[in-house]
């Protein structure tokens, strides 16, 4: 065993730490996904960009599901889903009033699932609706 100078006597501690680390890695693989950075509530201006960020402890997951008010989010020109290692991103470009609501990120692996959620509030803008629908319903 090669021990760097000044580290004599720490060899057993280093080996024990490595054993614990290997056990910890195995436990991580056999557990539900662990979220290190949860989604945060946001308030953005109409037309701006909103971004939800979720960071995981490990890349050992099978599926990521993003929802808005309970509906699965499909990637589009305005809704961008991306992943960089253990960081998951939902970017909403040109935010509209209809984008307000509850966003959830659910991560699943063989051992379970974990969810984090946040609310998006949009300031400004106008909600345009069909005047005929209004006239018929009144």
| pLDDT one-digit tens code per residue, 55-99 | 999 877 779 999 999 999 999 999 999 999 999 999 999 999 999
What is the model's pTM? 0.70
Residue 122 CA, chain-centre distance (Å), reads 20
Query: For the chain, which residues make up each domain, given as ranges?
Result: 1-30, 32-128
The CATH number of 32-128, from 1.10.3720.10, 2.40.50.180, 2.60.40.10, 2.60.120.650, is: 2.60.40.10
For position 138, what pLDDT does the model report?
A: 53
Mean pLDDT of the chain: 79
Task: Report the 10 Å Cβ neighbour count for 26.
Answer: 10
Of 58 and 126, the structure prediction assigns the larger pLDDT to 58
The predicted structure's pLDDT at residue 2: 42
Sheet (strand 87-92) strand order: 35-37, 50-56, 87-92, 79-84
8 Å CB contact between 79 and 5: no
């Amino acid at each position: 065993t090669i021990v760097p100078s000044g580290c004599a006597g720490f060899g057993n501690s280093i080996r024990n730490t490595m054993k614990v680390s290997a056990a910890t890695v195995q436990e991580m693989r056999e557990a539900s996904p662990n979220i290190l950075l949860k989604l945060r509530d946001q308030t953005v201006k109409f037309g701006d960009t909103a971004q939800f960020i979720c960071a995981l402890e490990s890349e050992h997951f099978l599926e990521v599901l993003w929802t808005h008010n309970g509906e699965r989010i499909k990637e589009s020109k305005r809704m961008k889903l991306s992943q960089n290692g253990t960081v998951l991103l939902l970017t909403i470009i040109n935010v509209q009033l209809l984008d307000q609501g509850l966003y959830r990120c659910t991560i699943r692996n063989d051992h379970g699932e974990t969810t984090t959620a946040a609310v998006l509030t949009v300031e400004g803008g106008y909600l345009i609706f069909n005047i005929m629908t209004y006239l018929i319903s009144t």
